Amino acid sequence: MRLRELSRGWHRAGEVVGLVPTMGALHAGHMSLVDRARAENTKVVVSIFVNPLQFGPREDFQRYPRPVAADLELLRRASIDAVYMPRPEAMYPPEASTRVSVGGLTSRLEGLARPGHFEGVATVVAKLFWASEADRAYFGQKDAQQVAVVKRLAADLDSGVEIRVGPTVREADGLAVSSRNAYLDARERQAAASLSMALRKAADAYQAGERALAILHGTLLEELGREPLAQVDYAELVDPEDFEGPGTLAVLAVRIGRTRLIDNHDLAKPFPG
């Protein structure tokens, strides 16, 4: 049965449908969103689709992890109601030429670093909203700019989908869990902790009373500078709504070897852990 028919049947029976969009390679971050969706809805759909449209030509689309059997087992144990795994040809038939483009905030930071990325995200998310007719959709705060883009899209297109955001899940040393952490070798994995360490140091300084954004910015750069493997793509303090500076949301994109990691934290809040 097609997802839309399934969802319409659920709605006719008075059910409330939550959608957790993913690209698979599920980890504790995804599963925390799944748990929350289960607690807040009577039916939960998880989509798994490695979306070619949101990868640049020189990015990791081909090598992106696709552990389908392990993902399905995790979801089976989480007792969700449906897994949606469209084939790429079904999602984007050759004649398809519509793209969803969110203006403004997509031209900064991740949008600048990864041209076309947010158009790919917005297009697939809009299609997932149409296909699922979900009442609510769940996204992780780790991709803070994606969250802002999706909120804008959901409102601007009158989608009727309520966006709920789950906190970033972190490893014991603070590293934000991400499917891309699987690319890191042992030394790189150690170096990857520099992102959360920088965010923690800056948040601690803010909590201690420091309000000068230039000094907080300096703290981020100084901390990242201590790690020889860390190559900073950007480290900025921006407004969390429009991603233009200045503001207390610290956003980082850092290359560790061949792997590009992102993380963020609102310095006005204590760093967790």
Q: For ligand PAF, give the closer residue by CB, 125 or 161.
A: 125
Residue that is written with structure tokens 């309520």 in the block:
162
Candidate segments 21-29, 71-79, 158-166, 168-176, binder of ligand PAF by CB under 6 A: 21-29
Considering the complex, state which of residue 124 and residue 252 has its C-beta at the smaller distance from ligand PAF.
Answer: 124
Candidate residues 18, 21, 29, 166; the one interacting with ligand PAF per rule CB under 6 A: 21
Instruction: Tell me how far apart the alpha carbons of residues 68 and 84 are, in angstroms, rounded to a whole number.
Output: 12
* Least spacing, CB of residue 106 vs ligand PAF, in Å: 13
Q: Is 30 a catalytic residue?
A: yes
Counting Cβ atoms within 10 Å, is residue 87 exposed (0-12), middle (13-18) or buried (19+)? Answer: exposed
What phi and psi, each to the nearest 5 degrees, are found at residue 134?
-65, 155
* DSSP classification of residue 113: H
Tracing tokens 């504790």 back to the chain, one arrives at 28
Q: How far is the CB of 173 from ligand PAF (least distance, A)?
A: 23
Q: Based on the shown chain and the rule CB under 6 A, indicate whether residue 141 belongs to the binding site for ligand PAF.
A: no
Nearest distance in Å: CB 22, ligand PAF: 5
Applying CB under 6 A, among 31, 45, 121, 122 the residue interacting with ligand PAF is 121
The site string for ligand PAF over 35-54 (x = CB under 6 A, - otherwise) reads ----------------x--x
Return d(Cα 106, Cα 197) in angstroms, integer.
Answer: 27
End-to-end C-alpha distance for the chain, whole angstroms: 44
Q: Burial of 177 by CB count in 10 Å (0-12 exposed, 13-18 middle, 19+ buried)? A: middle
Candidate ranges 19-27, 71-79, 161-169, 212-220; the one touching ligand PAF (CB under 6 A): 19-27
Q: Supply the minimum distance, in Å, between the C-beta of residue 254 and ligand PAF.
A: 18
- Rule CB under 6 A: say whether 143 interacts with ligand PAF: yes
Tell me the site size for ligand PAF, rule CB under 6 A. 10
Please tell me which residue in 11, 27, 30, 265 is annotated as part of the active site.
Answer: 30
DSSP H/E element including 22: strand 17-22
Scanning the structure block, which residue is given the tokens 């992780």? 140
Q: Give the 3-state secondary structure percentages of the chain, helix then strand then coil, rounded to 5.
A: 45, 20, 35
The yes or no reply on residue 159 touching ligand PAF (CB under 6 A) is no
Q: Are 235 and 225 in contact (CB under 8 A)?
A: no
Minimum distance, C-beta of residue 222 to ligand PAF, in the bound complex (Å): 30
Does 124 help bind ligand PAF (rule: CB under 6 A)? yes
Greatest CA separation found in the chain?
A: 58
Q: Which residues bind ligand PAF (CB under 6 A)?
A: 21-23, 51, 54, 121, 124-125, 143, 146
